[in-house]
Structure 1
């Protein structure tokens, strides 16, 4: 996985949320959480696995909605942040944080009602292996996001030290077909560069987000969207 050593550093875990989801980054956080909830539907009483859970943004949110959640990540430092977040939210009993490899999930077939990964596939060096494992342990729903090849992300990507794996639609469809999944829902967003929001104050980001959402509703906006959310069924 790209940036594996960087990602596991203690100082990265401590500053991860503040650097990415404060100020203008709140608009990213809000949209991503909405996408997860829309894809998974009512999760009360459901067993859910989050791949690459990081500091537990989504893990804790789903526990607050009544899910029984397992968050898996390669970084012990990130998992420690997640446990503290769950403790503060009062949902620690509903969440299990595990350190593990997403390409070899330590669960039996059909163990979860839903499995999802956010902010993961752009770093995955073997996406089929990861997606195949997600499909194996899910009874029904597999959800993930990608950065899109034909979008503003392709320009922004040049500025990143690690870069990102970018996907065209046909590549996502091929991935799903190869692991026996069926596409049942999709959404496309962020015509403006995704990382731009993290670099500007919340007030300025709010105005840009309004413009971005207006573009999103057009055919051109959907075509140029830098992020896609994919919902598949087993």
Structure 2
């Protein structure tokens, strides 16, 4: 797994959200959360598992909406940040954060209504095995995102300390077939790489976001999109 040791550093966990979701990164945070909610629909009283939950951005959001959420991550410091966030939000009783390996999920088959993984598959060295595990423990739905090959993300990758795994649509289709998942819907976004938004003030980021949305809405939109969201079902 790319960056496994890096993500477990105490200082990385403490600074993670401040570096990624302040300034223009707030637009990314809002878009990702909306993508999750659009895909899995009403979550009240549903059992949801988040793989690689990190500091609990999505687990807390889902718990606030009444879901029974389990978040799993390999980083103890990240999970501690998530527990503190859950306490501040008053949703600790609705969620459980645990340390574990996404390649060997410690749950029986069909344990959850929905299983999600955000910002995970770009780090996966064996994506097929991870997706297969997600499908195994889901009785209904699997949702995840990928960073796309042949887009601005390819250029941005050069600037990253550990790079990212990038996917073509064909590769994702092959992964879904091997996991026995049915594609319900896919959505594509962000012609400009995430790193650009993080480096500029929120007000300026809004201007770029308007242009970005226009580009994505064009006939070439899917080809330009650096991020894809994949909504799948268990047959």
Bin the TM-score by the shorter chain: over 0.9
> 2:61 maps to which residue?
61
Structure 1, unmatched stretches of 5+, are: none
Inter-partner Cα distance in structure 1 for 2:215 and 2:30: 18
Q: Tell me if structure 1 keeps the 8 A contact 2:25–2:194.
A: no
Q: Tell me if structure 1 keeps the 8 A contact 2:176–2:182.
A: yes
Q: Secondary structure of 1:159's partner?
A: coil
> 1:108 maps to which residue?
108
Inter-partner Cα distance in structure 2 for 1:213 and 1:227: 13
Aligned-residue offset at 1:224: 0.9
Give the count of matched residue pairs.
Answer: 234
TM-score by length of 1: 0.99
Aligned-residue offset at 1:219: 1.7
> 1:166 maps to which residue?
166
TM-score by length of 2: 0.99
Inter-partner Cα distance in structure 1 for 2:182 and 2:118: 19
Superposed CA RMSD in Å reads 0.6
Inter-partner Cα distance in structure 1 for 2:14 and 2:101: 22
Aligned-residue offset at 1:42: 0.6
> 1:140 maps to which residue?
140
Q: Tell me if structure 1 keeps the 8 A contact 2:147–2:228.
A: yes
Question: Do structure 1's residue 202 and structure 2's residue 206 form an aligned pair?
Answer: no
Aligned-residue offset at 1:221: 2.0
Inter-partner Cα distance in structure 2 for 1:101 and 1:230: 22
Inter-partner Cα distance in structure 1 for 2:59 and 2:215: 30
> 1:47 maps to which residue?
47
1:154-193 to structure 2, matched below 5 A, reads: 154-193=154-193
Question: Do structure 1's residue 233 and structure 2's residue 227 form an aligned pair?
Answer: no
Inter-partner Cα distance in structure 1 for 2:186 and 2:156: 23
Inter-partner Cα distance in structure 1 for 2:157 and 2:56: 25
Aligned-residue offset at 1:113: 0.1
Aligned-residue offset at 1:209: 0.5
Aligned-residue offset at 1:8: 0.2
Per-residue CA shift, 1:130-172, capped at 9, x if unaligned?
A: 0000000000100000000021101111111100000000000
1:82-101 to structure 2, matched below 5 A, reads: 82-101=82-101
Per-residue CA shift, 1:157-190, capped at 9, x if unaligned?
A: 1111100000000000000000100111110000
Q: Tell me if structure 1 keeps the 8 A contact 2:186–2:229.
A: yes
